[in-house]
Amino acid sequence: MEAKVTIIGAGVIGLAIAEELSKKFNKIFVVEKNKKFGQETSSRNSEVIHSGIYYPTNSLKAKLCVEGNKMLYDFCIKHGIPHSRCGKLVVATNLKEEKILNKILNQAIRNGVKDGQLISREKALELEPEIFCTKALHFPSTGIIDSHGLMKRLEANATINGVSFAYNSEVVKIERIEGGYAITVKENNIQFIFTTEYVINASGLNADQIAKTAGAFQKAYKIHYWKGDYFAVGNGKNKKINRLIYPVPQTNVVGLGIHATLDLNHGMKLGPDSTYLQSNTIDYSIDKKKQTAFLLAAQKYLPFLEFEDLHPDQAGVRPKLQLPGEPVRDFIITKETASGHPNFINLIGLESPGLTSCLAIGHMISKLLDN
Ligand SMILES: Cc1cc2nc3c(=O)[nH]c(=O)nc-3n(C[C@H](O)[C@H](O)[C@H](O)COP(=O)(O)OP(=O)(O)OC[C@H]3O[C@@H](n4cnc5c(N)ncnc54)[C@H](O)[C@@H]3O)c2cc1C
């Protein structure tokens, strides 16, 4: 075999897996269709290091997020990656929401998030004098990260350990052969084939298509695209908070509700919202007509905001496994031996908290290859 391991996709997940596996294997290839790493979902997110509070107990999302949170902070400190453990408040604005705070705190505790604290309105206003709330949850372990800096370091570490990166190279076909797989790659309209013992499908929004290319698995995987728009906050209002501020999530809404996040330059963004893209085609345009809805949602807890403080910012697309109205699904990270694809690992539906979980996912894949 020409390669021991081939990783399809150089988003934060493929890069973290490459970095981790490079500690024990030689001949690792990362094949990426874009001209450099992290050009898709990994550069179109909130850059939040989540604590892991909302996900169902024992789900991969909960486990990998809680583990990944700690691993990511340690990695940032070790490699000098800009980050801030700024903390987060989940704010209730009425009695009904206050009751939900207790449920969120209990779920966080079940997930192993130990630092959450229910705080009074007075205490919340000591932390964030400009917000409105009646009670809040404070999670000091939530933070923000320079995701580009993280990916650059992961790529550099992997390269130092001998990983080969093939950019501008799109995987178009995967065939099972004796002892592994033959991968057909298209590079500048030229196709070539190489062989590999292991395949790791970390191709994000395309992961279901790549799985399909490789043949039948037990179940056909189907990713549904859900877009998230952001509006940036200007006019100096971005300086009015120092932590991430989230509303209490509504039970019938997909996503966490319009929340306020910060970046490392103290820029403030509202969003992302969550819109199902029926066409399943990538769309990064921002619908300016949403500005009033974003303002009204955020004014409930950021009363200082005015219409002219907001302007359209970025958008990202989540690869979700559920359709509108269906229950939230967990990440799929699975070795496909039972489906007749030994040494083939699919990672499907890697939406949030994928960035936070990336290093824990690297560890998990490393263990899956051992078994
Ligand atoms: C709006 C939004 C906000 C989010 N906020 C957060 C957050 O604050 N915190 C958090 O933890 N997570 C967050 N996430 C989730 C996080 O961004 C993702 O989980 C993570 O970036 C997924 O990384 P990935 O490597 O799987 O995907 P991607 O970054 O999409 O990478 C997949 C790569 O595969 C490549 N590829 C696809 N097909 C092929 C092919 N045929 N051949 C070769 N290469 C191919 C693509 O070009 C791409 O580079 C957010 C996501 C969204 C959309």
CATH architecture of 88-140+224-320: 2-Layer Sandwich (3.30)
- Distance in Å, CA 202 to ligand 1 centroid: 9
pLDDT confidence of residue 371: 75
Q: Is residue 280 helix, strand or coil?
A: coil
Instruction: Specify the ligand 1 atom closest to the Cα of 210.
Output: 41
For residue 42, give the ligand 1 atom closest to its CA. Answer: 21
Decide: helix, strand or coil at residue 161: coil
pTM over 0.75: yes
Q: Which of 62, 262, 286 is nearest to 273 (CA)?
A: 286
pLDDT in tens, 101-131: 999 999 999 999 999 999 999 999 999 999 9
* Ligand 1 pocket residues where CB is under 6 Å: 8-14, 31-34, 38-42, 44-48, 50, 170-171, 202-206, 210, 228, 272, 316-318, 350-356
Residue 143 tokens read as: 């933070």
SS3 194: strand
Residue 226 CA: which ligand 1 atom is closest? 53
Burial class of residue 212 in the structure, from the number of CB atoms within 10 Å of its CB (0-12 exposed, 13-18 middle, 19+ buried): middle
- Torsion, CA 30, CA 366, CA 114, CA 355, rounded to 10: 10
Closest ligand 1 atom to the C-alpha of 205?
A: 30
Q: Is the dihedral of CA 364, 369, 370, 371 positive or negative?
A: positive
Whether the CB-CB separation of 304 and 159 falls below 8 Å is answered with no
Task: Give the residue extent of every domain in the chain.
Answer: 3-44+148-221+328-370, 88-140+224-320
- For 59-86, the pLDDT digits (tens) are 999 999 999 999 999 999 999 999 999 9
3-state SS class at 111:
coil
Q: Output the CA 69–ligand 1 centroid distance in Å.
A: 17
Do 121 and 279 touch, CB atoms closer than 8 A?
no
- Look at ligand 1, atom 18, and give the residue with the nearest C-alpha: 354
Encode pLDDT of 199-217 as tens digits.
Answer: 999 999 999 999 999 987 7
pLDDT in tens, 192-201: 999 999 999 9
Q: Does domain 3-44+148-221+328-370 have CATH number 3.40.50.2300?
A: no
The one-letter code for the residue type at 74 is: D
